[in-house]
Amino acid sequence: MGALKPDLIDEVMGALKEMNIDVPTEIQCIGVPAVMERKSVVLGSHTGSGKTLAYLLPIVQLMREDEASLGKITKPRCPRTVVLCPTRELSEQVYRVPKSVSHHARFRSILVSGGSRIRPQEDSLNNAIDMVVGTPGSFLQHVEEGNIVYGDIAYLVLDEADTMFDRGFGPDIRKFLAPLKQRVLKTNDQGFQTVLVTATMTTVLTVQKLVDEEFQGIEHLRTSTLHKKIANARHDFVKLSGSEDKLEALLQVNCIIKILIFEETACMVLEPSRAVDHYLTENQVSTVNYHGEVPTEQRVDNLKKFKDEEGDCPTLVSTDLAARGLDLDVDHV
């Protein structure tokens, strides 16, 4: 992996080779060394830049070092690494990365998220585990039911962190952090290492305040491309007089394979999306919705329908819930 090779063990390098990764991205060049130095950091880089590997690779290696120097072992219900994401869909997407790496790097990861049966997750947690990936609510539910305990957590990752804080996950995050901080105070140990991952650097004051309060002294790292426009993306602005003109304008891009339509917030998307659905359906264009009011399982099904290259669903109507982290192949937004 280029300049990073001397820092990464053979097991990790073997996983990268199987994934056909030879050259590190900018965020990986910045993030891997910083996490390897056991720093708590914010990794800021655009979606698709390789942020998951930027924190996953060094954390796997640090877990190996802990095993050698501290005698840490893999135990049931006692993860050493926790990765939290704001949605089930993003959790599943992130989970695929450690799953693909774990074959070579020899660690065990588990996905816990809403919208699926709890019992299979519980059974998996009763086996020896190294890493848990999931949503805050599902993780806390497993903690309350005794399926997960905090004792060995040494590494915490909040993926799309500003999205979680901005969307009201602050109380859940504080609830999750409280036992970890109490453990540090009681045992006077070195605590836990935190990695916040984001595709934007938010200017929302409440979010900044929460980050400053909960993660004091965290180091901010960002790539040179953060917030820069995509070079090959064309931006067009069409001035329209009313809602009927908007709907008619949508039909002009009906020949495009994949279209993503954003509404501003969940409360605003419901009525407009119904109008869009109805109008496009009348004009033989199929649509699916993706927002917080859609049940989790239905959201997953809707995304699958939208991603299906051979399917007949070319239009996704969404809030900005779909704007962060999800790997979507679209022609027009």
Q: If you ran DSSP here, which 8-state letter would residue 86 be given?
A: S
Residues with pLDDT less than 70, the chain = 1-7, 115-116, 187-190, 201-207, 227-231, 242-244, 253-257, 262-274, 277, 292, 309-311, 313-314, 320-325
| CATH architecture under which domain 2-222 falls | 3-Layer(aba) Sandwich (3.40)
Domain boundaries, the chain: 2-222, 243-322
Q: Each residue of 81-118: pLDDT tens digit?
A: 999 998 888 899 999 999 988 888 889 999 998 766 78
Q: What is the pLDDT of residue 46?
A: 83
Query: Angle between the 170-187 and 205-214 helix axes, to the nearest 10 degrees?
Result: 20
Q: Which residues pair with 195 in a beta bridge?
A: 41, 157
Q: For 261, phi and psi rounded to 5 degrees?
A: -110, 125
Distances (CA, A) of 53 to 14, 29, 45, 102, 325: 14, 11, 12, 12, 14
Q: What is the pLDDT of residue 133?
A: 97
In the block, which residue shows the tokens 């979507």? 328
pTM: 0.78
> CA-based angle 278:282:283, to the nearest 5?
120
Q: What is the pLDDT of residue 42?
A: 92
Q: What is the pLDDT of residue 208?
A: 72
In this structure, are residues 140 and 176 in contact, taking their beta carbons and an 8 Å threshold?
Answer: yes
Q: What is the pLDDT of residue 230?
A: 60
Q: If you ran DSSP here, which 8-state letter would residue 223 be given?
A: -
Q: Which CATH fold would you assign to the domain 243-322?
A: Rossmann fold (3.40.50)
Distance of CA 67 to the CA centre of its chain: 27
Please tell me if the domain spanning 2-222 has the same topology as the one spanning 243-322: yes
For residue 205, the one-letter residue type is: L
Q: What is the pLDDT of residue 70?
A: 83
Burial 134-144 (b: 16+ CB within 10 A, else e): bbbebbbbbbe
Burial 209-245 (b: 16+ CB within 10 A, else e): ebbeebbeebeebbbeebeeeeeeeeeeeeeeeeeee
